[in-house]
Structure 1
Amino acid sequence: MNDVPSGQSLLFLTDEQLRQGIEAMFFAYRGFTADPDRILEGKAYGRAHHRAIHFINRSPGTTVNNLLSILGVTKQSLNRVLRSLIEDGLVESRVGKIDKRERNLFLTEAGASLERELSDAQRDRMRAAFRAAGPSAVAGFRQVLEAMMDEDMRRHYEALRDRTT
């Protein structure tokens, strides 16, 4: 990490530098998901369950269709995940107030507890990495991540971000 190129040279990255960035992303993601994976393993859940719980927590009352759009999974796959979360008492599905065909999703107390446990593990890892990298690196990292998002995903991301600002 000592041979970090200057900002100007980053505009002209070599294929090798890009490969290293891609590999760093793969290994970082593996680390980022490792702690939640260990927690979920004991409950027979996977990453799809984690993502569903995360986004239901971020948008209480979100619809199944909105969750489908955010997660980019098939309806069949999401239904399987939601069915297990509902049966296990982690998620509650309520009939829509305006459109009775809609299902609004909420975490139960047990679901909120699991979400906190999963998020705490990831926040701890991110907090340590951000502290080690410093404020300008954190801002740059966020810019890179936002620049990699597809336009549709950026809209979802901005909507969630705007809820907390």
Structure 2
Amino acid sequence: MPLDLMGLLFFAYRDFVRDADALLAKQGFGRAHHRVLYFVNLRPGMTVADLLDILKITKQSLARVLRQLVDGGYIEQRPGPNDRRQRLLYPTVTGSKFFETLSTSQAQRIARALEPMPVETRQLVTTFLASMIDPDDRTTLENLNLVEIDNP
């Protein structure tokens, strides 16, 4: 059992989210809010159904988080162009700026960790992380164009 890697993942994730968690807490938000802001900023105009599929949470859980982000002026909902019942999610200027602030320290942490590594090692890190994702979710990851996966 790879307990050493499990420990490394725990500490890496703890430190990876630390700064963002502190910023989120100042707004009365948590990690669920961060995840919603992340995906809505990456894919403005995504549907609530798509977000539910990505996050794998209940409608009720998303509704609470989304309501707080909408009421706080971070995200806006618009009806779909063909189906007015469809809700499309867009970041507001405030939501985009907050997302950028949240992401800056995380992006810097990743860049610092990857910087001394050769390019092929960086690709191994990507392959390793992608391989940990359930195979059924890899298509979603590819559709989001977050990374190019080489058949992990």
> Per the shorter chain, which TM-score range?
over 0.9
Which runs of 5 or more structure 2 residues have no equivalent in the other structure?
A: none
Question: Partner of 1:142 in structure 2?
Answer: 126
Q: Secondary structure at the match of 1:83?
A: helix
RMSD after superposition: 1.6
Which runs of 5 or more structure 1 residues have no equivalent in the other structure?
A: 1-14
Question: Partner of 1:111 in structure 2?
Answer: 95
Match of 2:56 among 60, 72, 80: 72
Percent identity, please: 39
Tell me the CA shift for residue 22 of structure 1: 1.0
Q: Secondary structure at the match of 1:92?
A: strand
The answer to whether residue 98 in structure 2 is matched with residue 131 in structure 1 is no
Tell me the CA shift for residue 133 of structure 1: 3.5
Tell me the CA shift for residue 152 of structure 1: 2.8
Tell me the CA shift for residue 163 of structure 1: 9.3
Match of 2:45 among 38, 42, 61: 61
Equivalent pair of 2:141/2:147 in contact (CA under 8 Å): no
Would the alpha carbon gap of residues 73 and 138 (structure 1) be closer, same or farther in structure 2, given more than 3 Å must change?
A: same
Where do 4+ consecutive residues of structure 1 move more than 6 Å? none
Match of 1:122 among 89, 93, 106: 106
Tell me the CA shift for residue 139 of structure 1: 1.0
Structure-1-length-normalised TM-score: 0.85
Tell me the CA shift for residue 35 of structure 1: 1.1
Match of 1:82 among 66, 69, 72: 66
The letter for the 1-side match of 2:134 is: D
Match of 1:46 among 30, 39, 44: 30
Structure-2-length-normalised TM-score: 0.92
CA separation in 2, counterparts of 1:134 and 1:88? 43
1:35-78 CA distances to partner (integer Å, 9 max, x unpaired)?
10011111110000000000001110000000000011111000
Tell me the CA shift for residue 155 of structure 1: 1.2
Aligned residues: 148
